[in-house]
Amino acid sequence: MSVDLSPQNIKDLIARFEQQLKEVGRKEDLELIKRDWVSKDGFVKELFKSLRDVPAEEKPAVAALLNELRTTVEEGVSAKERGLKGEALKAQLTGEYIDLSLPEAATNLGSVHPITIVEERITEILRPFGFQNVMGPLIETDYYCFDSLNIPKHHPARDLQDTFYTTTGHVLRTHSTSVQARTLQHRALFDNNRVPVKVASFGPSYRNEKEDASHMSMFHQYELVWVEPGLTLSHLLGLITHILKELYGKRRKVRFVPKFYPYTEPSVGPQIDCSVCKGQGCGACGGAGWVTVGGSGMIHRNVLKEFNFDPEKVSGFAFGLGTSRLAGQLYNFPHLRSVYDNDLRVLKEIV
């Protein structure tokens, strides 16, 4: 088949192609044009095949025109393709809508219990002092809970303890100070009474009480023991003040009142001004404006002697901070019971 490769015909072809392309409005029509013009059996290929029949002296001019035709076709098709895609995408996007103001379906972040937050913050505050956190049993013997801590049977202090007795012959620990006894004993038995002893422990303790808004059978404590030559009461007060100020901010008021614990001498009760009433007196603080947040003191010489530490050579202090109360004060819970209420609506808000 002879093909007319005259310049005029090629120019007519270009014009025809452009006219056809202009009329294309759908992807399917474009596919037809591509089939007719740019496929291997398409028009452009056929024209190039016919170039071999053109006299040599005319070939450069004809070839140039064919190249122009090919470029026009390829670029035209490509541009049309992009145009059609863009229009299709535009049409698609125009039709799509999701109301993002509707509630999200994502899993909201959970949260950590306020008591755990307090425990971890105290641990962080104490970390530069080199404390090792240990754990102790909750079911204890009389020895670790009372006898070794200078609380003999029938001592009035046992009234304070309101102890749970188990049918296994044990008690539920009434205070985390039992961990202190175990720690000192361990150091005495297995480590030649090496000092310093720097141990912290936290977890629940139990008191056999009638429960109400302010009294629970279970509460949490953060226990700390430090035995080393040269420790004084002022060190104890300094460390507790440091912890409370770090926990609540420098402007929080801290004070100390005398207490009695058989296992410490002197014994001290750290107090902070009540966050709920700002020190004015309310149910959370029993009207006092101050909240006792734990018990503390210099370890009693009888306790040191019980575990073969020489009270003439070393001294030590210990405290049990009430993490339930500290958490209540940190998050303004009105009562101790609120801390253990496990109201997920409240706990989810605590980050």
Partner 1 sequence: MKLHVRLLEKLIETPECTVEGASNSPLRILLDDLGLEVKGVEASQEKGVVYTLETLANRGDHLSHIGVARELSARSLAQIKAPTVATQLSDRKASVLVRRATDKCMRYSLMEMSVPSDIKLRNDVAAFTDEPEKLHPIVSLLNYVQMEMGQPMHAFDADKVEGEVVVELSTKPEEIEALDGKSYTVPEGSVLIKDRKKIIAVAGVIGCANSMVTAGTRKVLIEAAVFEPVSVRITARGMGLSTDASYAFERGCDFEGITPALKRLAYLAGGSAGTAKDTEAAHVIGLTSTDSMPLEKRKIAVLLSSLRRELNLPRLEEVEVATRFKILGYQVESASASGKDKELTLTVPSWRLWDVRSPEDIYEDLARSVSLNRVRPELPPLDVEAAPLNGIERLVKATRSALVGSGFVEVITTGFISAAEVSLLEQLSPGVTAQHVSLKNSLEAKNSHLKVTNVVHLTKLLALNKKRGVEAGKVFENCRVFSRPAELPSDEPRERDELDYNLEHDVLCMASAGRWFEGQWRKAESVEEHARLFKGAVAGLIKGLGCQFSVGKSESPFLHPGIQATVKCGRNVVGFFGVVHPLIREACDIKEEVFYCELDARLLVKLMIGVPAPTVSDYPAVWRDMTLKVGAKEQASRVLRFIQEASLDALTETLIVDDFRRPEEDFRRVTYRVIFQRPDRTLKSDEVDSSMGTLLESLKGKHGIEMAS
> Which 165-224 residues touch partner 1, going by CB under 8 A?
165-170, 172, 185, 198, 204, 206, 208-211, 216-218, 220
Among 81, 143, 246, 252, binds partner 1 (CB under 8 A): 143
Q: 2 or 108, CB closer to partner 1?
A: 108
Among 17, 37, 43, 144, binds partner 1 (CB under 8 A): 144
The 8-class DSSP code of residue 131 comes to P
Using the rule CB under 8 A, is 259 a contact of partner 1? yes
- Distance from C-alpha of 181 to C-alpha of 144, rounded to nearest angstrom: 6
Bridge pairing between strands 264-273 and 197-206 = unpaired
Bridge pairing between strands 290-292 and 264-273 = antiparallel
Q: What are phi and psi of 255, to 5 degrees?
A: -140, 170
The end-to-end CA distance of the chain, in Å, is: 83
Which residues within the stretch 23-62 sit at the binding site for partner 1 (CB under 8 A)? Answer: none
Point out which span in 24-32, 37-45, 57-65, 228-236 binds partner 1 (CB under 8 A).
228-236
Point out which span in 1-9, 28-36, 67-75, 151-159 binds partner 1 (CB under 8 A).
151-159
Among 49, 127, 194, 313, binds partner 1 (CB under 8 A): 127
Report CA torsion sign: 227, 233, 238, 240: positive
**How near is the Cβ of 309 to partner 1 at its closest, in Å?**
14
Among 113, 121, 252, 335, binds partner 1 (CB under 8 A): 113
Among 55, 95, 110, 249, binds partner 1 (CB under 8 A): 110
Bridge pairing between strands 264-273 and 294-299 = antiparallel
Among 3, 38, 125, 157, binds partner 1 (CB under 8 A): 157
CA distances from 264 to 153, 180, 233, 245, 317 (A): 17, 12, 11, 24, 8
Using the rule CB under 8 A, is 249 a contact of partner 1? no
**How near is the Cβ of 149 to partner 1 at its closest, in Å?**
13
SS3 121: helix
Using the rule CB under 8 A, is 229 a contact of partner 1? no
Q: 61 or 257, CB closer to partner 1?
A: 257
Among 32, 61, 88, 135, binds partner 1 (CB under 8 A): 135
Using the rule CB under 8 A, is 19 a contact of partner 1? no
Size of the site for partner 1 (CB under 8 A): 102
Q: Can you give the three-state secondary structure of 191-218, one letter per residue?
A: CCCCCCEEEEEEEEEECCCCCCCCCCCE
The 8-class DSSP code of residue 3 comes to -
Beta bridge partners of 315: 228
Point out which span in 2-10, 23-31, 68-76, 137-145 binds partner 1 (CB under 8 A).
137-145
**How near is the Cβ of 54 to partner 1 at its closest, in Å?**
52
Element (H, E) at 133: strand 132-133
Question: 138 is written with which tokens?
Answer: 């909750």
Binding mask 265-294 for partner 1 (x = CB under 8 A): xxxxx-----------x----xxxxx----
SS3 254: strand
**How near is the Cβ of 345 to partner 1 at its closest, in Å?**
6
Point out which span in 4-12, 52-60, 75-83, 106-114 binds partner 1 (CB under 8 A).
106-114
Question: 52 is written with which tokens?
Answer: 């071999």
Point out which span in 8-16, 24-32, 71-79, 155-163 binds partner 1 (CB under 8 A).
155-163
On whether the CB atoms of residues 274 and 285 are closer than 8 A, the answer is yes
Among 66, 7, 85, 322, smallest CA distance to 333 is for 322
Residue 92: which residues within 8 A CB-CB, separation 6 or more?
none
